[in-house]
Chain A
Amino acid sequence: MATYTKTVDPNGGSDYASLSAWEAGEQALYSSGDIAIADCKRTGATKDTTIVTVAGWTAGVIPKIIVNAAHRHEGKWADQRGDGNYIYVLSVGASGTALQLGNAGNEVFGLLLEKVSTAGYNSAGIGVSAVANTRISGCIVRNAGSGSTEVKGIAGETVNTDTIVENSIFYNWPTAGIKVQAASDSNFKIYNCTVYGCGIGVHTYGYQDTDIKNTLALNCTTCFAGGAGPVSNYNVSSDATAPGANKATNKTAYTDYFVDPANGDFHLKNTSLALFGLSGADLSATFTTDIDGVTRSAPWDIGADQYVAAGGGEILLAGSLTGSASVSAALTTAITLAGSNTGTGSATAALTTAIHLAATNAGYGSIAGELAGTVAGILLSGTISGTSAATAALTTAITLAGANAGAGATSAQLSTAIILAGAANGDSDCQAALTTSIALAGQIVGTGSAQSLLTVVIGILGSMSVKVAGAHKNVDAAYVFADGAFRLVGDVWGNVLGEWVHISPTTPFLLREDLGYLLREDGTRFMREV
């Protein structure tokens, strides 16, 4: 038994330029037990537009159509992914079933499929005919044409056994979203599907071993028809027809349930428990993820999408550590990344693109929060209440704020920003560096040193009250900024040879770094280096 993978790309550069050609070219090449995979990609705007019939293969060969992860939909209808890659789509205008599966063991995973034909007699998105062990998973199947006679999303036709349709979406099909239409169909499973805007949502024709679980059928003329098997359960309808002992019916606030149903985005806006008052059954013996790859966890949501807090995609990543080891959390694209460490190890949170990165360390280790290559970073904040170091770095952002209430060091760096603010209440150093900025504000009330570095600056806002044992060195905040004289906003105190000296904002002075002096404007020595 071997696996043979061939690439399919309508834009060329692959083994085949269409699924139809793959099917014709591969069906006689292999032996029983072999697996033939069509690895579907779409590297340009051209779509695959040819009807596909998978049938007549060498007996025992298992054909699988799997959309490559880089060209797979993101749980909603779209032409391109968020990363700009085109999504592989089978877009068929001709009359007849777009994808006919007639070979045992057929599997279709992650396919976007649409019918755009105007003539629709006996036209289906996917047809399953006279085969066993067909699996359709993670597909979005829509009708975008105007054909109206017997047009259905998926049709289980003649003598099928052990068909599973899961984690898939079917919408806008005039006849039915899912139609199990042959009396000889047996053990037909419909799990975690979303059916929307169809004539009949799920039509089983009274074939009582059809197992329907965790399935939404909404905004259909009739949501469920023909009955269902006795094990069907946990279904939701917009009329009174949902089958099963546990069900939710008459749910009609569609725009409250889905992100954008009019444009093919059926991501849930909340958990199905919150939306429908019903969670789904745990079907992890059959599959463990949802339509866009999110791992399903208890309680299972109903429909093709497992709700993730804060919107679609990978939104929230949170990690915590209560021991003495380290914890790290990394996320490529997200809205929120939050991590905490209450132990004595280290905590790291890294985010390539984000809006908010927040990290907290209440232990004695180190904490670092980084936001790099950020297109639009909004807020980076970090806090440490232990005795180690805290670092927060941000390439491009609006606000960077850091605080240190312990005895370690804190530093905040920002290449381009509007505001950089940092505070230290401990006994160590506080550093703030900014290459280009509008305002820099920093404060230290402990006994360590304070430095503020700013190449181009408009103003320094804040006061410095630094107790220095014996020398003026800790007043050196001044010369770092100074390309020449500047005006100090706030008081500076220094202790020189046991004598306190004071510069107020109204005290005019010149900086003479080369001499190590601060001079009054009238030339009188103000502070002398020891």
Chain B
Amino acid sequence: MIVEVREDNAPRGTLEKWPAFAWIMVPGIPADTVRKYMQPELSALTGEVTRRRRWRIRWADLPLAVRNKLQATGQIVIKAGDYTGAYDFTWSQVKVYFRDLQTGLDEAGEL
């Protein structure tokens, strides 16, 4: 479950670390852009919340290199947009592991 979206360099709690938490860093992308992955799933009929998060990361399907990186450091850095700094993977490499549970489709868009 995606717990939260924060701006770059936002403070972290001392317990917000691997293995309880994994950080996916997308430098340069505003939090509001990424916040859609925190939306709840709402009933089209009543508008009530039917699922806490509409989006899920398919952790078990992630490539071994990504999982190893997370296990080693607790975070991965993703290159997206105009970011030119150091990174571990590109958005194109990982976006397909974000699944919309309401539609059943994986993410195909850009950030």
Contact = CB atoms under 8 A, between A and B. Distances in A.
Interface of A: 6, 8-18, 20-22, 24-25, 46, 50-51, 53, 55, 94-97, 100, 121-122, 127, 149-150, 157
Q: Is the contact region of chain A dominated by helix, strand, or loop, or is it mixed?
A: loop
A157 to B, nearest CB: 7
B58 interface: no
Contact of B49 (A22, A96, A149): A96
A24 B12 CA distance: 14
A91 to B, nearest CB: 14
Interface in B27-85: 35, 38-40, 42, 46-49, 52
18 contacts: A9-B13, A11-B11, A12-B11, A15-B13, A17-B10, A21-B4, A21-B16, A22-B13, A24-B3, A25-B15, A25-B21, A46-B11, A53-B52, A55-B52, A96-B40, A122-B46, A127-B49, A150-B47
Contact of A12 (B1, B3, B12, B40): B12
Given A12-B11, A25-B15, A157-B48, 6 more contacts: A10-B11, A11-B11, A55-B52, A97-B49, A100-B49, A122-B47
- Which of B13, B21, B52 has the most chain A CB atoms closer than 10 A to its own CB? B13
A11 to B, nearest CB: 6
Contacts of B3: 20-21, 24
Contacts of B38: 50-51, 94
Contacts of A150: 47
B20 interface: yes
Contacts of A11: 11
B15 A18 contact: no
A8 B49 contact: no
A251 B15 CA distance: 51
A95 B35 CA distance: 11
B103 interface: no
A472 B11 CA distance: 76
Nearest to A19: B4
- Which of A22, A94, A97 has the most chain B CB atoms closer than 10 A to its own CB? A94
Size range of the chain B interface in the assembly = 20 to 34
A94 B46 CA distance: 18
B11 A17 contact: yes
B39 A96 contact: yes
Nearest to A8: B13
A157 B49 CA distance: 11
Nearest to B52: A53
B16 A95 contact: no
Given A21-B3, A50-B4, A95-B39, A15 B14 contact: yes
Contacts of A96: 39-40, 42, 49
A121 B13 contact: no
Nearest to B11: A12
A94 B5 CA distance: 12
B4 A18 contact: yes
Contacts of A95: 39
A210 to B, nearest CB: 20
Contacts of A22: 13
Contacts of A16: 13, 15-16
A121 B39 CA distance: 13
B101 to A, nearest CB: 15
A122 B46 CA distance: 8
A50 B20 CA distance: 18
Contacts of B5: 50
Nearest to B6: A17
Given A50-B38, A100-B49, A13 B15 contact: no
A25 B4 CA distance: 12
A226 to B, nearest CB: 19
